[in-house]
Structure 1
């Protein structure tokens, strides 16, 4: 068992009862879009069990709301696989591919026709994400997807450069590349509420969002460190701490866990004072209630996360450096299969 999942989080772990049905619905959706095109892809895809991750992230969600979350996280995961750092892709190539995906994220206008199955899947997820949402919320959601996509060319440049990543510079980039902000948007979408920009300006709120991202991303980095080290990828907090501080990798793991402990304590302290902070900022009752619902959602997001690591096989085994993590190139046009042989 990976040491990350043994971290004693102070938040309860819950799971949506619709998880198993959502898992099958998602696989059917993915196969229909051509995201799973062969048996190798299917084994890899099923081993991740993103439905379990989403069901623990959103334990109150079910049906279409949970389906959207699973599909969105799957799309983000597959994008990450396409730009896997171990493949040494040129920044210009990564940028060009990301531009085709960025074009999908239109807030008010009509996007161009998607090119490739991954772009088509993102377009479907984005359409469903925007449905019924306010313009303010759609703009925020688009910004967070853009953060994620724009981080890939930046990571590619850092891999080719001689500048060493520091803890602070890495965390700043990781908050964008980790997909967590998009997933926090899904917390609102799946539970049927929105927070306003005014509410998010309440002192402490932005720090709560950053703490959530840092906790989730660091758990991921601890669980994936051996896989990424073998692949030659440097974008991992444990590896960054090891290079920055020297010493052993075990010492860097201890520092990562100590950081998560401090972040949890800080989160609890800020959250406890949030109702009073909302009153000082003269938020309306609805704004305050929705903001507190978001904080409750963040606690559920964090609390359920380690249980996914106990069962997922996403970080098992080592894929040789230079080989793609996912066999299919989803950035190129692919004919959608009507059925896949078993």
Structure 2
């Protein structure tokens, strides 16, 4: 049933699929880099990372990235997924450890590679330092602070979710949607559009209400699609932190019916997304090209997540 719903939503998605021509080559490069980081992973675990195809995910979200930039992005994506596994997988970090990891990551992002913090050490620190090198070198301070703020928001969400799971508090739908916008890392992906395009937006434009509404809708779309795909795993481990599970509990319906409710919610939000994108105003000839690149990037994040979810070995939906 889940497989059929996912493919149905993909067929209805009005955003065209895109993929970088460098994606598979960068995946091979990434596969060669990971063993040298000293990650506590055996060969089967490294193989699973390779089959998850994080470089291909980055290539779907940033199809116009140069090959060197896509390497930086694929490394960043890998870091975020490894952190996600550490926060939410077997032997997960405690809330206190997640908060320390957040503080350690922010010290690197804000202060540079010489910054040291006990919350981020070893292979995870080395991977973040390497992945962050080129964005830090090339992008202005205001952009770097914006990206760091997005990472802080994401990891704060992971901490909040860990607290709720530890307390046995499943969320209601409204609370879940708000928290999921943080844990999804979509708001981290959006600033990277500017890294790829080389055209950072002024803060007043980036935080314009029209762009923020579109960002929220895009975040919901990619998050909820992922929730449907990861439902079976989340039923055992997520403590109710999944849109389908939150809907089932709040509406008092079987999970199978809640899957359909989540899909209908996705369809309605997709219609809203299309309308919001069409309604973004002009910001003048000096900015409209950069804004258009940003809007395309948010759309690519939605469609790229859909396509990658169906092809990645991370989810058993192929």
Structure 1 length normalisation: TM-score?
0.84
* Counterpart in the other structure of 1:338: none
Q: How far apart, in 1, do the equivalents of 2:235 and 2:100 lie? A: 27
Residue 192 (structure 2) pairs with residue 190 (structure 1): no
Q: Give a deviation string over 1:118-176, Cα, whole Å, max 9, x none.
A: 01211222232222111211111001111122222211110122544121211111111
1:103 to 107, 112, 133: 107
Note if 1:166 corresponds to 2:176. no
CA 1:65–1:110 in structure 2 vs 1: closer, same or farther (change >3 Å)? Answer: same
Which segment is superposed worse, 172-181 or 25-34? 25-34
Which residue number corresponds to residue 9 of structure 1?
13
Report if aligned partners of 1:218, 1:237 keep a CA contact under 8 Å in 2.
Answer: yes
Query: 1:330 maps to what in 2?
Result: none
Contact map agreement 2:22 2:59 (CA 8 A) in 1: yes
CA contact (8 A) 2:55 2:74 kept: yes
Secondary structure at 2:287's aligned position in 1? helix
State the Cα distance separating 1:232 from its structure 2 match: 4.9
Q: Is the 8 A contact 1:5 1:307 kept in 2?
A: no
Equivalent-residue separation in structure 1 for 2:314 and 2:4 (angstroms):
12
Q: CA deviation at 1:37?
A: 4.1
C-alpha distance after superposition, 1:265-299 (max 9, x if no partner):
1111122121xx33xxxx34222221121102222
What is residue 285 of structure 1 aligned with on the other side? 285
Deviations 1:20-54 (A, max 9, x none): 11111111222222237421221221221111211
TM-aligned CA distance change 1:144 to 1:201, over 3 Å = closer
* Distance (whole Å) between structure 1 residues aligned to residue 48 and residue 116 of structure 2: 31
CA distance in 1, matches of 2:30, 2:87: 23
Selected match of 2:153 from 140, 147, 156: 147
Partner of 1:62: 66
Partner of 1:217: 223
In the alignment, which residue of structure 2 is the partner of 1:136?
Answer: 142
CA contact (8 A) 2:20 2:60 kept: yes
The answer on whether the counterparts of 1:180 and 1:213 sit within 8 Å (CA) in structure 2 is yes
Relative to the length of structure 2, the TM-score reads 0.90
2:87, 2:98 within 8 Å by CA — same for their partners in 1? yes
- Which stretch shows the higher mean deviation, 61-70 or 86-95? 86-95
Task: Specify the alignment match of 2:39 in structure 1.
Answer: 35
In 1, Cα distance between equivalents of 2:284 and 2:52: 42
1:38-92 residue CA offsets vs partner (Å, 9 max, x unmatched): 2122122122111121111112223111111111111000001111155465322
Native 8 Å contact 2:186 2:219 kept in 1: yes
Aligned 1:207-286 pairs, distance under 5 A: 207-274=213-280, 277-278=281-282, 283-286=283-286
Aligned residues: 311
SS in 2 for 1:71: helix
Change (3 A) 1:295 1:198: same
- 5 Å-filtered alignment, 1:58-137, equals 58-84=62-88, 87=91, 89-106=93-110, 111-112=115-116, 115-137=121-143
Shift of 1:300: 2.2
Compare the two structures and name the one with the higher helix fraction.
2
Relative to structure 1, is the Cα distance of residues 127 and 88 closer, same or farther in structure 2, using a 3 angstrom cutoff? closer
Q: How has the CA–CA distance of structure 1 residues 232 and 208 changed in structure 2, closer, same or farther, with 3 Å as cutoff? A: closer
Give 3-state SS (helix, strand or coil) of 1:285's partner. coil
Q: Which runs of 5+ in 1 are unaligned?
A: 318-342
Cα pair 1:212 1:298 within 8 Å, conserved? yes
What secondary structure sits across from 1:106 in the alignment?
A: helix
In angstroms, what is the RMSD of aligned CA positions? Answer: 2.2
